[in-house]
Amino acid sequence: MKTEHHTVLIVGGGPAGLALAVVLGGWHPYYRGSRMFSERYAQLAAYLGPHQGSLLGLDFAALVNAGVAPADLFRLLHHPRQKFEELAQVAMEFRQGEPLDYLLLSQEPVGGLWNKAPRNLLTLSPGQWMEFAFYPLAQYAQEQGLDLDVNELICKTDLIEYYHRVPARFGQEEHLRTGEKVTRIEPHERGFLLTSTALASGDTRQYTCKYLIYAAGQRCQLRRLGVEGEDLPFVTNQYDSPLDCPRHRVMVVGGGRSADWAATELHDAGRQVCYVMRQSPEQHWQLIGDSRHGLPYYTRIAEILEGKSPRLEALYRTRVKRIGGDGRVWLSAGGEERVVQVDHVVKEIGGIADYSLFTGFPAELQLEEKYDNYRFQVHQVRTHPHNYESVDIPNLYAGGYLAAGIGLVVIAMHGTTYAIAGDLLHKEGRL
């Protein structure tokens, strides 16, 4: 089998991997300042003002020692305030330079998990918080003639179109190979050896690279209930819209944001919903309480539950035990068994980051569990804070939320971009 070599391979074409592709493709940030940035962050403005070259050349280790994490610095440059007012507020600009030899491999189209998010889902944050600094949503809307309020929550369909536009807009299409699943990552004399499967043909391919960026996202492996009947045809893994469930009685299994979305939308589409959760009502109501004043679908689920709608039954501290081929579902709630007859089961029980692909390395990847009140949950790779390189496997970088210390804040999903790109350019003698 022929092995293709690249200086850098990126695994994962979600917001984390895609941003890295464009920056490695030669689009580098330069400080230009802005009134808003100088007013709010005078010290940083004074530090960056004299910096002539690309911001990728900053001494990130020194900045970390001074208490400034790279992801935070670029967040402030990109969003000196939370609200978007004008393009000129972004305190950096992007100029096209020499690209680095890279290839991005992803099993889905670019945009990552947003490709399969429910059709009508709204983001948790304003549209402009989901954008890349090199392509503000306001600029995209202007170029495409779209009427988008970038300070409002953005709908999945609008967001995914934005991400899909990025490769062509920045001339990176030739460096992206989608529809390809990486199945193994091993050490190699040139750095790393990756084996992948082309999903359309089933062909096996191999690649080597000197540097590897693992940006496969926090739910590349969907969780399973581990019960009989889980793979029956009326049980769906990922909810898109009420059209997935044309018949009347739907069981939603979950309890996080995706399940809340599905239960609410199905109820409002006239279905009879049985909502099964392992969590307690107190835990669920904490999430609802935290979100009901900012997110419209939480306002709605609170109304439905408080109004005791007869079409939504919420079963707390309940587990699915078995799913029968005739649509009966056996549940266990506090030691008691109950059987519910349904037409569809929607599983929205999340996923996990998959590190099982790494094999044969002298050291195991050390992982840290990250968890917060907003239901953000992922095992992150222990990395150096100034470049997001693994502390265990040199030249392996963790992209986006997979890097330790990255929390659920604005641009966190691609906050690792600049420090990783800067480190690679530095190692390659390009800075």
Q: How far is the CB of 129 from ligand FAD (least distance, A)?
A: 6
Nearer residue to ligand FAD within complex by CB, 78 or 219: 219
Max Cα distance, the chain (Å): 71
Q: How far is the CB of 255 from ligand FAD (least distance, A)?
A: 13
Strand-strand pairing, 176-178 and 102-106:
parallel
Q: How far is the CB of 307 from ligand FAD (least distance, A)?
A: 25
Bridge partners of residue 276, in order along the sequence: 253, 315
Q: How far is the CB of 325 from ligand FAD (least distance, A)?
A: 30
201-215: b (≥16 Cβ within 10 Å) or e? eeeebebbbbbbbbb
Instruction: Tell me the residue ranges of DSSP E strands in 82-121.
Output: 92-96, 102-106
Q: How far is the CB of 153 from ligand FAD (least distance, A)?
A: 8
DSSP, residue by residue, 227-290: -BTTTSTTEESS---GGG--SSEEEEEE-SHHHHHHHHHHHHTT-EEEEEESS-HHHHHHHHHH
Nearer residue to ligand FAD within complex by CB, 138 or 160: 160
* CA distances (Å), origin 201, targets 4, 181, 197, 392: 18, 12, 8, 35
Q: Is the distance from CB of 105 to CB of 17 less than 8 angstroms?
A: no
Residue 219 corresponds to which tokens in the numbers above?
A: 């739910």
Bridge partners of residue 378, in order along the sequence: 370
Q: How far is the CB of 79 from ligand FAD (least distance, A)?
A: 12
Residue 389 corresponds to which tokens in the numbers above?
A: 């390189």
Nearer residue to ligand FAD within complex by CB, 18 or 274: 18
Distance, in Å, from the CA atom of 314 to the CA atom of 61, rounded to the nearest integer, reads 50
Nearer residue to ligand FAD within complex by CB, 118 or 327: 118
Which residues of the chain form contacts with ligand FAD (CB under 6 A)? 11-17, 105-108, 112-114, 117, 123-125, 130, 181-182, 215-220, 258, 357, 400-401, 413
Nearer residue to ligand FAD within complex by CB, 117 or 137: 117
Distance, in Å, from the CA atom of 117 to the CA atom of 299, rounded to the nearest integer, reads 20
Nearer residue to ligand FAD within complex by CB, 156 or 271: 156
Nearer residue to ligand FAD within complex by CB, 115 or 283: 115
Distance, in Å, from the CA atom of 356 to the CA atom of 342, rounded to the nearest integer, reads 36
Q: Locate tokens 């003639």: which residue?
A: 145
Distance, in Å, from the CA atom of 359 to the CA atom of 186, rounded to the nearest integer, reads 5
Nearer residue to ligand FAD within complex by CB, 63 or 194: 194
Q: Is the distance from CB of 132 to CB of 418 less than 8 angstroms?
A: no
Contact residues for 94 (Cβ-Cβ < 8 A; gap 6+): 27, 28, 29, 30, 133, 134
Nearer residue to ligand FAD within complex by CB, 54 or 123: 123
